Structure 1
Amino acid sequence: MSEALSSQKSESDVLVVHGGTPLSGALRVRGAKNLVSKAMVAALLGDSPSRLFDVPRIRDVEVVRGLLELHGVRVADGEDGELIFDPANVESANVDEINVHAGSSRIPILLCGPLLHRLGHAFIPDLGGCHIGPRPIDFHLQSLRQFGAQIEKTPQGLALTAPDGLRGTKLELPYPSVGATEQVLLTAVLAEGVTELRNAAVEPEIIDLICVLQKMGAIINVHTSRVIEIEGVPRLKGYVHRPVPDRIEAASWAAAALATGGEVNVIGAEQAAMTTFLNTFRSVGGDFEITDTRPPHDGRPGVEGGIRFWHPGGELKAVALETGVHPGFMTDWQQPLVVALTQARGLSIVHETVYEQRLGYTAALNAMGATIQTYRNCLGNTPCRFGRRNFHHSAVIAGPSKLHAADLVIPDLRAGFSHLIAALAAEGTSRVYGVELINRGYEDFEAKLAALGASVERP
């Protein structure tokens, strides 16, 4: 192992993976990471307590909980993943305490609208998150200014005030960004007047956030052609909500089953939000079976639905796919699936159109024996916004390739899980460094691996 690799990750943050064993068994996914943290922020807007069920035990939830508690929100644990939020005593937080969370999450930017409504001011520390591209907050700040916020740069971050309150406005996104859409929704619901957002994101988690806000008393209309209209209301109450299941985690385990030649039953996964992934999974040569949830009836116990994924045997087939905003193929699905594509016969093509630096993880796969070439050209059906900007955002995967063990350093959350899948599929023993990053979005992933028969251990 190189000195550079040793310096990046310590022995306390490593998972030893003995590869070559097909995963087999069942696991359960909870509420979507991309909804749960935003619903937690939404609790700030209510004047009565909120209850959120099926909350996963992941690092991002801990970060948001810490930020809410710093601002006076009382957060209590209920049974089996329930969180209860009491925002009765929202208060200003100490800048130094907020900065403890700097680099841990990009969620603080989404607290700005709710805090401006509740307190008249807010503070944003330096933002972290996965290093998969610049992910600028320019539109967040621009939209907050259009709502009436004043923003001052300080040595610690950005200080926001709203001396005249927040007012509805008309905005149009240059790209249907999920984060920017969430920002507008969380700010507009209590702003005076009507807000119109064009070119909005309409992912299932966005629609679920709209459901949360509607339960609180918001008036939000989702029109055709990605137009969302929000009519500001004077007050919001708390909510009671069970979030949509995590379609990213479900797809990650599906890809792991395919790459290792195994079978994984993902309890809680739902078909509707995963239809694009399921079509691609079947095109590659994987198979799946969907079980619908059945309530108790005539004394018989109920059944929680899910999706069982498996490798049916035979060769996998190469595919061409292009990531995109919903209802396209989700960018967070491509990294785990690419590991399975290294085992498919022929040339698979991936065109990444959401994050310009999301293919960097393929270098580690090549070091394990994969044959993946990245390109600056758009190899999809249509040119994208990265095509003329010198980013390696397309890849050609030649397979099947025999993967062998290696020492791996996790660069970001989704790439990290892909590295883990590759280690599980490879022959030999790999050491995966930086596994704490995986805890940001995958609940109890080590326990789930053990339940699926994986041979993994801490050194």
Structure 2
Amino acid sequence: MKTLLSDSANPKSGDREMAGEVIRIRGGRPLTGRVEVKGAKNLATKAMVAALLGETASILRDVPDISDVQVVKSLLEVHGVVVEAGDEPGSLTFDPSGAVAAHFEEIDAHAGASRIPILFCGPLLHLLGEALIPDLGGCRIGDRPINFHMDALRAFGAIVDKSYEGIRITAPNGLHGANIELPYPSVGATEQVLLTAVKAEGVTELRNAAIEPEIMDLIAVLQKMGAIISYEPNRVILIEGVDSLRGYDHRSIFDRNEAASWACAALATDGDIFVGGARQQEMLTFLNVFRKAGGWFDVREDGIQFRRGGVLKPVVVETDVHPGFMTDWQQPLIVALTQAEGESIVHETVYENRLGFTTALVQMGADIVVHPHGLDTEGRRVPRRALEQAAVINGPTPLHGADVVVPDLRGGYSYLIAALAAEGESVVRNVGIIRRGYEKLFTKLDALGADFDVVG
């Protein structure tokens, strides 16, 4: 019998879910059923920050109930923003009219391991003339330098001072438009520029910008607030600064990362999962690889159904910025590829340490070799980067239960998939990290027929 009770049987099941740090899984059973995905973590948290820019209250809908959202909510409240439940389930309202400065200690206490505080810089500079950034956390998947952010803020006229507490950023002469070219199309740095440029005096031209669907959705949020933003070919975004912005009412784009994760779970466990809320357009690249690997999917008006289409086949994948294959998709896919007949190769070109999670998969019986400096293989389309790695996966290999510790968000979810596909019992520790990006994780696993207990 599972430790987790259903929502109807236990009104506080959500509290239980947030408390669980260790789960014991008995694998070897296909996951079947339906799950719903809400708004994207990578949009919702940024749209919440954008509410600071408005002179009136904002409403965000389809907000996922995940720990990253709770972190941003706490940070907004520390800065005097009133955050309340909205007019429908899963919606939040934000009233920034009482916004105030906060101390390093307060920000650090509420930020935890999140890297979100850095995106408060532009809005706080416009609102208060000062922003404080403590030491940054986040998943340990490789270098996420903040120099892209700091260089962009300096280009707007901000002054960046570092101290033992963190970083203090001021704008004594206000912020002005700038010409900025990113060394790499960083999602975070692109968001930083957007959130800063919309109220900076003059025009900002951002070159080599990230163009992920979540970025486009953030642009839609800012345009609703009164911003003037256009994008041109070749990753160029133009922002004309305005004097004031109003609040927004916006429904978040769906979480394509979670949708792809459940799709890979269906592939790995030989299950059949309908992902409500998933849409085809934002998942085109993933769907192509899913089909090549032997997956079958059916696009419907209210979501996408995923299952195996027969024998799993090996594939070669190169991660890349949008519209390429997302780095967040490769980790759950690798679990499924351990069951494909032949040799698959995954080239990770975005983060240098994102293949470390495969060590635990090898412990569970997978045949995976990581090449720390990448591989030159025929037909490469993504330009090689100095930091890239490659994983060679030979299958099919039976997986067996093991005791594993979650290293990061997507890698941790991949451990869950592996444990669910494996024969025998597995113990997965540090599950709290996974709750950063997966809403009602245990409830959804229960709905799909997973056999597990929440240990503590």
Instruction: Indicate the TM-score class for this superposition, using the shorter chain for normalisation.
Output: over 0.9
Deviation at 1:57, TM superposition (A): 0.4
**Normalised by the size of structure 1, how large is the TM-score?**
0.93
Matches for 1:148-163 after TM superposition, within 5 Å: 148-163=157-172
1:140 aligns with 2:149: yes
1:88 aligns with 2:84: no
Segments of 4+ moved more than 3 angstroms? 382-387
Match of 2:433 in 1: 437
Residue identity opposite 1:228 in structure 2: I
Match of 2:385 in 1: 386
Deviation at 1:154, TM superposition (A): 1.8
Residue identity opposite 1:163 in structure 2: P
Match of 2:63 in 1: 55
1:174 to 183, 195, 206: 183
Match of 1:310 in 2: 307
DSSP-derived class of the 1:256 partner: helix
Residue identity opposite 1:264 in structure 2: I
Match of 1:416 in 2: 412
Residue identity opposite 2:39 in structure 1: G
Deviation at 1:356, TM superposition (A): 0.8
Deviation at 1:101, TM superposition (A): 3.0
Match of 2:4 in 1: none
Match of 1:5 in 2: none
Match of 2:198 in 1: 189
* CA distance in structure 1 between the aligned counterparts of 2:61 and 2:20, rounded to whole angstroms: 32
Q: Verify the 8 A CA contact 1:63 1:104 in the aligned structure 2.
A: no
Q: Verify the 8 A CA contact 1:356 1:386 in the aligned structure 2.
A: no
Deviation at 1:102, TM superposition (A): 4.4
* CA distance in structure 2 between the aligned counterparts of 1:328 and 1:386, rounded to whole angstroms: 15
1:20 aligns with 2:21: no
1:357 to 353, 356, 360: 353
DSSP-derived class of the 1:27 partner: strand
* CA distance in structure 1 between the aligned counterparts of 2:238 and 2:339, rounded to whole angstroms: 46
Residues 1:101 and 1:339: Cα distance change in structure 2 (over 3 Å): same
Matches for 1:388-407 after TM superposition, within 5 Å: 393-407=389-403
Note the alpha carbon deviations across 1:134-185, whole angstroms, 9 max, x for none: 1000010011011011111122111111000000000001110000000000
Taking only aligned residues, the RMSD between alpha carbons, in angstroms, comes to 1.2
Match of 2:422 in 1: 426
**Normalised by the size of structure 2, how large is the TM-score?**
0.93
2:234 to 225, 243, 251: 225
Match of 2:140 in 1: 131
Number of residue equivalences: 433
Residues 1:187 and 1:328: Cα distance change in structure 2 (over 3 Å): same
Matches for 1:327-338 after TM superposition, within 5 Å: 327-338=323-334
Q: Verify the 8 A CA contact 2:295 2:312 in the aligned structure 1.
A: yes
DSSP-derived class of the 1:195 partner: strand
2:222 to 189, 213, 229: 213
Q: Verify the 8 A CA contact 1:132 1:412 in the aligned structure 2.
A: yes
DSSP-derived class of the 1:317 partner: coil
Match of 2:264 in 1: 255
* CA distance in structure 1 between the aligned counterparts of 2:362 and 2:27, rounded to whole angstroms: 17
* CA distance in structure 1 between the aligned counterparts of 2:232 and 2:207, rounded to whole angstroms: 10
DSSP-derived class of the 1:179 partner: helix
* CA distance in structure 1 between the aligned counterparts of 2:235 and 2:126, rounded to whole angstroms: 26
Q: Verify the 8 A CA contact 2:104 2:166 in the aligned structure 1.
A: no
Match of 1:164 in 2: 173
* CA distance in structure 2 between the aligned counterparts of 1:25 and 1:383, rounded to whole angstroms: 36
Deviation at 1:103, TM superposition (A): 4.0
Q: Verify the 8 A CA contact 2:71 2:112 in the aligned structure 1.
A: no
Deviation at 1:104, TM superposition (A): 2.0
Deviation at 1:186, TM superposition (A): 0.2
Q: Verify the 8 A CA contact 2:103 2:132 in the aligned structure 1.
A: no
* CA distance in structure 2 between the aligned counterparts of 1:447 and 1:234, rounded to whole angstroms: 46
Deviation at 1:94, TM superposition (A): 2.5
Deviation at 1:217, TM superposition (A): 0.3
* CA distance in structure 2 between the aligned counterparts of 1:134 and 1:331, rounded to whole angstroms: 14
| Percentage identity across paired residues of the two chains | 61
* CA distance in structure 2 between the aligned counterparts of 1:386 and 1:130, rounded to whole angstroms: 21
Which consecutive unaligned segments of at least 5 residues does structure 2 have? 1-18
Match of 1:295 in 2: none
Match of 1:324 in 2: 320
